[in-house]
Amino acid sequence: MRDVFTANTLKGRKALVFGASRGLGRASAEQLAAMGADVVLLARSTERLRLVAGELQRKYGVATTIEAADLVDEAALNAVLRRHADTDLLITNCGGPPVGPYLQTPLADWDAAYRQIVRSVVQATQALLPHMAARGFGRVVMIASRTVRHPLALMAISNSLRKALLGIAETIADEFGEKGITANLVCPGLTRTERMTEVLAARARNAGKSEDELLAEMLRPIAAGRVGQPREIAATVGFLCTDVAGYIQGQCLLVDGGHKL
């Protein structure tokens, strides 16, 4: 059990990581590379992907591939999935959906968010699961949000659509569990990424408060009394990808510092 996080734990495995150019996706890709997996990094920005790929290659000596594609572009995603049918570890992740009051959340936003948050995961898992099943091993880890368990104000889309991911993970667990495949959600709470910093600044401006003041309010219900670090989410993703995590199925793991309701 002491060897769960070594540089060889995932050697010989190939990971496909969505939203890997920054934030939680990037951190997850780094964790998997640090554990020896070869990684395919997908996001829209080629430039940022190149930087991440170069860094992971240099630091960990693993093979890296970049795939510049939009998760909502069915044809582009299909082409990526065909090129990487030998993926062992699928990490799904995407940009955050729009935030706002329920009545001011237009149907078009729901449609766009469904395509990114839910449909891309269905498309990717439908393409890759048969190959994983044929090889007798696979890990699907979906980066979601604590909204799967605890709804947040002004986040109707996240509160609603991310729950669908749990249904998908439970279904995959049920239909593919005996083939050595697991499917689980990692559900972050407040975690320090570039996006979190941008959102905090915007919310502080809107509320006419300083960022420190707003952050102190946001931390009050968090038992850990601090913001999470991307590497803490990534470590959970990495653990779920190991062989010894093979008995964790269809779960939603909250990594939120013990956020009280």
Ligand X SMILES: NC(=O)c1ccc[n+]([C@@H]2O[C@H](COP(=O)([O-])OP(=O)(O)OC[C@H]3O[C@@H](n4cnc5c(N)ncnc54)[C@H](OP(=O)(O)O)[C@@H]3O)[C@@H](O)[C@H]2O)c1
Binding to ligand X by residue 19, rule CB under 6 A? Answer: yes
User: In the set 56, 71, 89, 169, which binds ligand X (CB under 6 A)?
Assistant: 71
Using CB under 6 A, which of the segments 2-10, 92-100, 101-109, 209-217 binds ligand X? Answer: 92-100
Tell me the two tokens of residue 229: 């670090």
Q: Report in angstroms how near the CB of residue 35 gets to ligand X at its nearest.
A: 20
Closest to ligand X by CB, 149 or 209? 149
d(CA 256, CA 89): 23
Residues in the chain: 261
SS3 state at 253: strand
Binding to ligand X by residue 181, rule CB under 6 A? Answer: no
Asked if residues 101 and 143 have their Cβ atoms less than 8 Å apart, the reply is no
Stated as kind and residue range, the H or E segment containing 133 is helix 120-135
User: In the set 179, 195, 209, 231, which binds ligand X (CB under 6 A)?
Assistant: 195
User: In the set 13, 16, 17, 23, which binds ligand X (CB under 6 A)?
Assistant: 23
User: In the set 172, 190, 235, 255, which binds ligand X (CB under 6 A)?
Assistant: 190
Q: How far is CA 208 from the centre of its chain?
A: 32
Compose the 219-248 pattern: x for residues touching ligand X by CB under 6 A, - for all others. Answer: ------------------------------
Q: Given its phi and psi angles, is residue 19 left (phi above 0), alpha (psi -120 to 50 degrees) or beta?
A: left
User: In the set 196, 200, 214, 237, which binds ligand X (CB under 6 A)?
Assistant: 196
* CA angle 41–45–51, rounded 5-degree value: 60
Residues 126-145 that bind ligand X (CB under 6 A): 143, 145
Classify the C-alpha dihedral 200-202-203-208 as positive or negative. positive
User: In the set 43, 156, 172, 214, which binds ligand X (CB under 6 A)?
Assistant: 43
Using CB under 6 A, which of the segments 32-40, 64-72, 217-225, 244-252 binds ligand X? Answer: 64-72
Cβ-proximal residues to 198 (8 Å cutoff; 6+ apart), any chain: none
**Which 8-state DSSP code applies to residue 142?**
E
Burial of 12 (0-12, 13-18, 19+ CB in 10 A): exposed
User: In the set 13, 14, 22, 259, which binds ligand X (CB under 6 A)?
Assistant: 22
d(CA 245, CA 181): 10
Q: Report in angstroms how near the CB of residue 66 gets to ligand X at its nearest.
A: 11
SS3 state at 65: strand
Closest to ligand X by CB, 24 or 121? 24
Cβ-proximal residues to 52 (8 Å cutoff; 6+ apart), any chain: 20, 21, 22, 26, 29, 41, 64, 66
Using CB under 6 A, which of the segments 102-110, 171-179, 192-200, 243-251 binds ligand X? Answer: 192-200
Count of residues that interact with ligand X, criterion CB under 6 A = 28
Residues 154-173 that bind ligand X (CB under 6 A): none
Applying CB under 6 A, the residues found at the interface with ligand X are 19-25, 43-45, 48, 70-72, 93-96, 116, 143, 145, 188, 190-191, 193-196
